[in-house]
Structure 1
Amino acid sequence: MATKTNLHPRNQHKEGYDFGRLVADSPELEPFTIPNPVGQTTVDFQDAAAVRMLNRALLKTHYTINFWDIPANYLCPPIPGRVDYIHYLADLLASSNNNEIPRGPGIKALDIGTGASLVYPLTGQSEYGWDFTGTDIDPAAITSARQICELNKLKITLRQQNMRENIFRGVIAPQDAFHITLCNPPFHASIEKANKGTQRKWSNLGKGASTKLNFGGQNAELWCPGGEIKFIATMVEQSKEFADQCLWFSSLVSKKDNLQPLSRILRKAKVADFKVVDMAQGQKTSRFIAWTYIKKSQHSLYVNGAKK
């Protein structure tokens, strides 16, 4: 077993990676395994092929995903951290449901920017049985996600977002009702800043100058005009139009300094409530912000289907 982490108590990876089990289920992972300085089995996380193979093994062993692949140069997400977001969203929904986690396909989740990896719908459906809809602006990402669904015989709805300036518009239909939305937004404000962030990552890893990300990433995944604050501010603005079609809206926030301006934006939007939820993953702390326009007294009606 690899080192323990500070992941969510329900996270299957909180005790680290069981490489014996992973290799037994996915023998193709074995050539990528190496010993760390204290003799534990691991992989080289600077090797994109190794990370991709580890993800494939994790999804197979823990989430019964028998086929998973993504096109070259697309984000290869770290599974444990992504699943943590799902578990904390389940806790958020439990807070609206008399502290009981709602499970099953009656719970509708909307993943904004689902990506080629489809990581949130895959893990969220496996853990809680929720009914996911994934959206993306990138046709190649949608094609990849659709292939993953088809080859695993999964029922996940995929919708193409055709307008770059839109987030919820164009993908939420009048008849839709969602309990939760989730998003891992692009956090750089320009391609130049994205490249500088890449340079810093490689420098910190002792690799010197490089324009290559160790986990890959397309432009739409890494940056947008105005960066993370502008993206989430647009999300808040458009969420008003769908205030009665969704119980909780949410988004990851990569930079803690962005919380204060985002809180001001949410107060100005006159939301009924908003929360900042901290998540710890090893040495790293991440967080998401969630907001609702629905009064607390009405939450259980939404969760239990009276408002569908």
Structure 2
Amino acid sequence: MASKTKLHPRNLHLDGYDFERLVVQTPELEAFMIKNPVGQSTVDFQDPMAVRMLNRALLRTHYDIEFWDFPAGYLCPPIPGRVDYIHHLADLLAKDNNLQEAPRGRHIKALDIGTGASLVYPLIGQSAYGWRFTGVDVDANAIKSARQIRDVNKLDIDLRLQNNSENIFRGVIQPDDVFHVTMCNPPFHGSKEQANKGTQRKWASLGKGRSTKLNFGGRDAELWYPGGEIKFIARMVAESMDFAKQCLWFTSLVSKKDNLQPLHRILGKARVAEYKVVEMAQGQKTSRFIAWTYFKKKQRTLFDKRGA
């Protein structure tokens, strides 16, 4: 478990951003550079284009991604937090199999639910650990964008369109698929109205007045789901029972700590073999993900050895 004040020890962004190095690798970033009140170089994180350019520079400098672009309006995720999720998943797999180091290599298979137009988790995970990723999304244009990023960078990532927006795993996990871990950053809000109000509260807290502008972007399917995060993860848990023997660990980010208690009850009814909450610290903010498995402890090492 990470420190309450720092990113994961293996996170390349643990000590902040080396803007001088980033600008050398991505000269376009210089146009977005500003000075903070104490005279340090940074970017305006309230500017969507600045956030996008910073992410592009980070992916090029640290993860060898030369091309990274996608249509306007799609979620542009903050890189350090996404990196932390990957590292903690690696720790989960390592601990489960009594490994001294995080597992690496193409034999480790990961399923990214809601991979998005930016394809960020597969890009990071493949670079950091060499895992084999499958990305899934309900948005055909997001998949099209993800394919362009994959193809231009000549990466081996499987991308699948979820044709039924009511389903999560059904229809995309095939009978011969086996995954070590699944991951997901679920929609946070319960409706479009809630998403807009959340954005307005955010801008008000920044002293910017009323606005529906999103500095990190996000389409409807990325931001809200009927019933919100709990309903989405509940659906995920229900469907996971159908694939209990095909996935070692199912996981999902959980935005609100208060949501853990109802999710605990839901997982109890699913009769999972084990359920964990992994906390991740990012500065003053603490995030978390839940992980559940239907494999008993002695079965998990066998699962890994068969080269799933």
TM-score range, shorter chain: over 0.9
Q: Determine the structure 2 residue equivalent to 1:40.
A: 40
- CA drift at 1:165: 0.8
Q: Give the distance between the partners of 2:154 and 2:306, measured in 1 at CA.
A: 27
Q: Determine the structure 2 residue equivalent to 1:190.
A: 191
Residue aligned with 1:54, SS:
helix
Residue aligned with 1:109, SS:
strand
Contact persistence 1:185–1:228 (CA under 8 A): yes
Q: Deviations over 1:99-144 (max 9, x none)?
A: 3321100000000000001010000000000000000000110001
Q: Give the distance between the partners of 2:84 and 2:228, measured in 1 at CA.
A: 23
Contact persistence 1:102–1:303 (CA under 8 A): no
Residue aligned with 2:290, SS:
strand
Contact persistence 1:74–1:218 (CA under 8 A): yes
Q: Determine the structure 2 residue equivalent to 1:80.
A: 80
Q: Give the distance between the partners of 2:115 and 2:140, measured in 1 at CA.
A: 12
Q: Determine the structure 2 residue equivalent to 1:59.
A: 59
Q: Determine the structure 2 residue equivalent to 1:25.
A: 25
Q: Determine the structure 2 residue equivalent to 1:118.
A: 119
Q: Determine the structure 2 residue equivalent to 1:99.
A: 99
Residue 284 of structure 1 aligns with an amino acid whose one-letter code is K
Q: Determine the structure 2 residue equivalent to 1:273.
A: 274
**What fraction of aligned residue pairs are identical, expressed as a percent?**
74
5 Å matches for 1:283-298?
283-298=284-299
- CA drift at 1:285: 0.6
Residue 206 of structure 1 aligns with an amino acid whose one-letter code is G
5 Å matches for 1:187-226?
187-226=188-227
Q: Deviations over 1:143-183 (max 9, x none)?
A: 01000000000000000001111000000000000000000
Deviation beyond 2 Å, 4+ runs, structure 1: none
Q: Give the distance between the partners of 1:64 and 1:301, measured in 2 at CA.
A: 33
Q: Determine the structure 2 residue equivalent to 1:251.
A: 252
Q: Give the distance between the partners of 1:260 and 1:154, measured in 2 at CA.
A: 39
The alignment of Structure 1 onto Structure 2 pairs a total of residues equal to 303
Q: Deviations over 1:200-253 (max 9, x none)?
A: 111111110011111111000000101000000000000000000000000000
Q: Give the distance between the partners of 2:91 and 2:118, measured in 1 at CA.
A: 24
Contact persistence 1:90–1:102 (CA under 8 A): yes
Residue 63 of structure 2 aligns with an amino acid whose one-letter code is Y
| Residue segments in structure 2 that go unaligned for 5+ positions in a row | none
- TM-score, normalized by length of structure 2? 0.97
Q: Deviations over 1:15-66 (max 9, x none)?
A: 0000011001111111111111111110000011110000000000000000
Greater RCO (Cα-Cα under 8 Å, separation 6 or more): 2
Q: Determine the structure 2 residue equivalent to 1:177.
A: 178
Q: Determine the structure 2 residue equivalent to 1:144.
A: 145
- CA drift at 1:305: 2.0
Residue aligned with 1:135, SS:
strand
Residue 80 of structure 1 aligns with an amino acid whose one-letter code is P
Residue aligned with 2:67, SS:
coil
Residue aligned with 1:185, SS:
coil
Q: Give the distance between the partners of 2:177 and 2:111, measured in 1 at CA.
A: 10
Contact persistence 1:96–1:303 (CA under 8 A): no
Contact persistence 1:107–1:178 (CA under 8 A): yes
Q: Determine the structure 2 residue equivalent to 1:71.
A: 71
| Residue segments in structure 1 that go unaligned for 5+ positions in a row | none
Residue 208 of structure 1 aligns with an amino acid whose one-letter code is G
- TM-score, normalized by length of structure 1? 0.97
Q: Determine the structure 1 residue equivalent to 2:238.
A: 237
